[in-house]
Amino acid sequence: MHKDNPLRQLSLRQLDAIYGAEHRRGGPLARNWGALGLRGTWAERPIHVHGPPVSSIEALYLRRAVLHDSRKWNPGYRQAEAEGAPVIARLEQDPDGIAFAPLRDATAGVRALALGNGDEGPFHSADDASVRSGAYPLVRSITVIPAHTHERPMPHAVRAFIAYLLSDEGQAVIAAEGGYLPLGPVALHAQRERLP
């Protein structure tokens, strides 16, 4: 959200009502801030929807996770030229805007909303604890699935790279990078055990 917008939380149904055009999660479309519960001077102000190109990985994820795979976006969707920082740059200039972008690209001119699976909550911020626990509803995982069989084992270089990712050193690099979270201890142990 733009930093001046008083809204603090949204459900996935409300996000669908903002970004979509098919009501796949039910309820009416949300095209002004009053539809999301804001009152006073905010009630009639239009919602300006910003995001990455609809063909981007981020938009495809939003389409699957929020719009229930609808390809019918809000006709007012304003595509930035790329993912991440360009989306945030547009939002910083638009007090009536909402955007879908990685938290790592946030600036002082914007703030993240707490999200909930249902309209009644609970609502969770995108912090380390809620992301690791799975409570935050929009979490993407990166899965590595190397092609191998008993007859055709995994190439040594591929196995070495995955082993590095699962090592303490590799997990520290992932944590330091800032855009991703390392695996928790239970998941890390399980993945290390699965590596052939």
Q: What are the residue boundaries of the structural domains of the chain, listed by start?
A: 9-133, 141-196
Phi, psi of 188 (to 5 degrees): -65, -45
Q: 75-122, pLDDT tens digit by residue?
A: 999 999 988 899 999 999 999 999 999 888 899 999 999 999 999 999
Q: 122-142, pLDDT tens digit by residue?
A: 999 988 888 878 899 998 877
Question: How would you class 156 by CB atoms within 10 Å of its CB: exposed for 0-12, middle for 13-18, buried for 19 or more?
Answer: exposed
Superfamily classification of domain 9-133: Periplasmic binding protein-like II (3.40.190.10)
What span, in angstroms and rounded, lies between the C-alpha atoms of 173 and 182?
9
Least confident window among 28-32, 49-53, 106-110, 173-177: 173-177
What span, in angstroms and rounded, lies between the C-alpha atoms of 49 and 97?
6
**Does pTM top 0.75 for this prediction?**
yes
